Structure 1
């Protein structure tokens, strides 16, 4: 994708729709969880709304044309019966007028999930449930 300032989910959709080759938007929805082997202090902090790490709960891919708005995507994610706090997004571009293949999409989603699990999130966009763009860095 070309460089344009993305400040909202709508900016992301607009930019994806403007690309010369077909795009797939990859989404990984996450929720906080305690790490295995956590301490009592970590559990207390987590119960108070701090600490923990983000764990992937749902992955999905869509073309920009399949998405009408952030609200529609949130509603669809709720139908998957999964609560989430942060949504990570990446774009996958096709070539020569042909969109990315299913194998490429699946491999890219696996890469995203692994990146999130290991804290390598700087290359993804991140949005909260209200659609605000979050600034995250590798942890």
Structure 2
């Protein structure tokens, strides 16, 4: 008789990224959040460069999605892959530049928090403040309508 495995705990916080041909920036994105998330999910929409290999080397779970010209469909598919109570959503060319430690406390609370963290967008090479939606999947619609 085999010993049953204990249930896998639900991650408190997951990083969710949609990417396509982002080899130049995906590592910085994933590395900026790796210390504060329990899991990293990358939904690749058809990369022809090294995006997938780089994301896997950084420890991300990589899934594939056929691009259908609908970012909402891709975002929903990416969020469906997460079983975390909270999801931090970044674009592949963004990275957290501060505030990572501040994510931990709200993740211990009910999923009703929306926050703003400074991120860097590689395409503009400038720091900017952008609303970051960290929410439970169940409240994603309300959260994103308010702050994303």
Q: TM-score if structure 1 supplies the norm length? A: 0.30
Q: Whose helix proportion is higher, 1 or 2? A: 1
Q: TM-score if structure 2 supplies the norm length? A: 0.29
